[in-house]
Amino acid sequence: MRAIDYFDRGAAVDPTRIAMQDSARAFTFAEAQALTKRIAVAMEDAGFPGQAPVALYSANNVDVLLALLGLWRANAKWIPLNTRNAIDANAAYLAYVRCEWLFYHSSLAGDVAELKRRVPTLRHFVCLDKAHDGDPSMEAFIGGVDGGRWKDPSDPFGNPDEIVGIFPTGGTTGPSKGVEVTNLGWGTMIETVGNAIGGRTDRPVNLVVAPLTHAAGPVALATMQFGATQIILPGFDPQAVFEAIERHRVTHLYLPPTALYALLGHDRRERFDLSSLKIFVLVGSAVSPDKLRQAVEAFGPCMCQAYGQVESPMITCWLPPETVAKAAAGDRPELLASCGKPSYSVRVAVMDDEGNILPPGEAGEICVRGALVSKGYFELPEATAEFRTFGWHHTGDVGRFSADGYLFIVDRKKDMVVTGGFNVYSAEVEAAIMELDAVRECAVIGVPHEHWGEAVHAVVVADGIDEPAIIAHAKARLGGVKAPKSVSFADSIPRTAAGKMDKKALRREYWGNQQRMVH
């Protein structure tokens, strides 16, 4: 099915139920459905041809979610723009995908003026909240439009090969590539997520905290398909999250691990009633097993993890809350370090550089095949072919399977420290250091060393612990080769606009601007 079909399916559950709500406004499913039809018809009246790229540029609010649903109803290709990106990166991406339409919030008007100047393909603009610089407000854009004129363009199969969006990769090693996701792949993801997190309550309420232009968008759609209300916060603030969970009896929540750590460290957490939570999904990066155990104690048996990437989105593997709760209670605690088992939508294998599938226990590159895998990179056939060798999609992540099928992420393939001829995966060292209660964040990199080529170095955000204690703990857990040879302390770990640790920035302090930051 198409993306909008999942929303319409949720609307049919109870049209009178609140579909979305922020601090200012709320809309029922019936009201939201009518508005999205008016948006689609207004776009068609303005000459929108279907299957053209449309970008959204806004912080979280009901307007941006309505616009997202409206552009999908118009059969557009969604182009997510991260408001945290530098204007150079967003302009380059819009030009690369030849974006024609932009829906934006007036708070970003300065950036939009620059995008208008730099991206010649942009020709249609709608300001979500008010008229600005000659651009109509959303209210004016759909004013007088009869949503009853909307005609459903779907075929009996849900237009499986059409593109639902062109999603940017992280861009940590260069400019973002555009991942083309078809209706088939998107629908596979939405249905797989729905099967994993649905059916646990007859009054589902999803709290939207992370940017709707990132993973929170598909999570919102995945929960709307079974009639969930979306409570939308403008951004992440621990106090606001706790208050919203208690006030709205939130049942579903998605956040990255870094936000979880902030919630666990909040001094007023125990004052709030968080018992309504049924599903608290962690996606985006590996979570410290010890912090995950603490999260079960704090939030109850609702914690779960998903593993995926833009090219095989969100739920390539799934670790359900029942497994996490048992592991936190001492039943196979090693599973707290796992990202779960492959979902029913894909095959997952661990492969060596020659294309041989490795047995359980051996580490290699994680490879995926199935309907969940994206079509490829937009107008980059060589890059697509590079990641599709041996008949599988190559994730760039390194992992190993247990004998009973649980996948453990070891590291990024390109994020490995080679010290004295030994391969040290930074994620393994980070996990050991994060076991320490005093440590809030940790990033491990290789730094130049005259004898070993590279030495393992840890950058740590912590209180009340010193370098020798950290090194001693890591050495006891991992041995002398893998333990860091040095530790530096920081107020925070630098992060990319996508929220991932920016190890390139960390390495630059030690390697300068060398193109090759290894010896």
Q: What is the CATH number of the domain that holds 428?
A: 3.30.300.30
Helix (H), strand (E) at residue 116: helix 109-118
Whether 461 and 350 share a structural domain: no
Same domain, 427 and 336: no
In the chain, helix, strand, coil percent, each to 5? 35, 25, 40
Same domain, 429 and 393: no
Residue that finishes a domain, picked among 363, 382, 412: 412
Residues 433 and 392 grouped into a single domain: no
pLDDT given for residue 417 in this prediction:
83
Looking at the fold, whether 402 and 423 belong to one and the same domain comes out as no
Whose tokens are 């929108």? That residue is 48
Give per-residue burial for 254-290: e unless 16+ CB within 10 Å, then b.
Answer: bbbbbbbbebbebeebeebebebbbbbbbbbebbbbb
338: left (phi over 0), alpha (psi -120 to 50) or beta: beta
Residues 320 and 436 grouped into a single domain: no
- Length of the chain, please? 519
516 located within any domain: no
Q: Are residues 392 and 431 in the same domain?
A: no
- Could you give the number of structural domains in the chain? 3
Domain assignment present for residue 396? The answer is yes
pLDDT recorded at residue 426: 85
Contacts of 302 (CB under 8 A, 6+ apart): 277, 278, 279, 280, 321
Contact 309, 498 (CB under 8 A): no
Among 139, 163, 187, residue at a domain's last position: 163
Compute CA distances 157 → 5, 408, 409, 467, whole Å: 11, 36, 36, 60
Indicate the residue type of 435.
Answer: E
**Of 66, 81, 2, 76, residue with least CA distance to 36:** 66
Point out the domain boundary residue: 145, 163, 181.
163
List the beta strands (DSSP E) in 256-356.
279-282, 303-309, 312-319, 341-342, 346-351
Say if residue 406 is in the same domain as residue 441.
no
Dist CA 442 CA 363 (whole Å): 23
**Distance in Å from the first CA to the final CA of the chain:** 50
Q: Report helix, strand or coil for 376.
A: strand
Range of the domain at 464: 416-511
For 254-289, the pLDDT digits (tens) are 998 878 988 998 989 999 999 999 999 998 777 888
pTM for the structure as a whole = 0.84
Helix H or strand E encompassing 369: strand 364-370
Q: Domain holding 59: CATH number?
A: 3.40.50.980
In a domain, 338, yes or no: yes
Q: Which two tokens stand for residue 498?
A: 């996508």
Helix (H) / strand (E) element for 125: namely strand 124-127
Secondary structure element (H or E) that encloses residue 56, with its range = strand 53-57
Residues in the chain where the model's pLDDT stays below 50 = 172-173, 515-519
Residues 275 and 353 in one domain: yes
**How far is residue 35's CA from residue 68's CA, in Å, rounded to a whole number?**
11
Strand partners, 408: 400
